Amino acid sequence: MTDQKDAILDAALMHVPFDGWSETSFQAACADAGVPLPEARGLFPRGAVDLAIAFHRRGDKALRTRLADVDLGGMRFRDRVAFAVRARLELVEDDKEAVRRGATLFALPIYAADGAKLVWETADVIWTALGDRSDDLNWYTKRATLSGVYSATVLYWLGDQSGDYSASWAFLDRRIGDVMRIEEAKAAARNNAFLKPFTQGFDRMAAAVKAPKRSTQQDLPGRWSPPA
């Protein structure tokens, strides 16, 4: 079944640049892969939409492998995040038009929730690879913040005409810098004698929020295991 899914997805990537993640692409991919349409519907019930989701998740799977093979210990933390986001985009550079068509698809209101979920999954892959063990509100805020950074960078990257994408990586660095300044401001507030009672109250409330427990790796919106 996995082989059939991969075969259909591989075939679709030849059609998507011209016809988008559409029924036309889906049927052409099934024909090219030699998978009967009724059988393909069982693998991808919503057709091209589920195919686009499979394409995104394939990139996340490749990213997970890529980050597992790299020693990030010598980098500043912000550089680790930048490296991971950049790696995710470099993995799909050869299929940039498929990414563009996917961004268009998931911008539609009917599929916006699917798109948001996929971005969240990517953020979770990155945070998990970077060793995040938070189990409270920070689990959510970290992924939400990175989702915003990633989404903005993807849109910039799609329009980037610089040969080496240097403009995109500079944009990414600025977005991460913005987030770091927010975190620095929060840390300063915690150390401020006047604001400390308020921040301590917020921290107590945040600690009461728990990250979701996941029974399997596919139980989304994230893969999380409690601290050892």
Query: Among residues 175, 92, 75, 182, which one has the least CA distance to residue 131?
Result: 75
**Amino acid sitting at position 149:** V
Residue 90 scores a pLDDT above 70: yes
Over residues 85-114, the mean pLDDT reads 97
pTM of the shown model: 0.83
**pLDDT in the model for residue 139:** 87
82, 140 Cβ separation under 8 angstroms:
no
Over residues 191-218, the mean pLDDT reads 50
Where do the structural domains in the chain lie, given as residue ranges?
77-208
Residue 78 scores a pLDDT above 50: yes
102, 52 Cβ separation under 8 angstroms:
yes
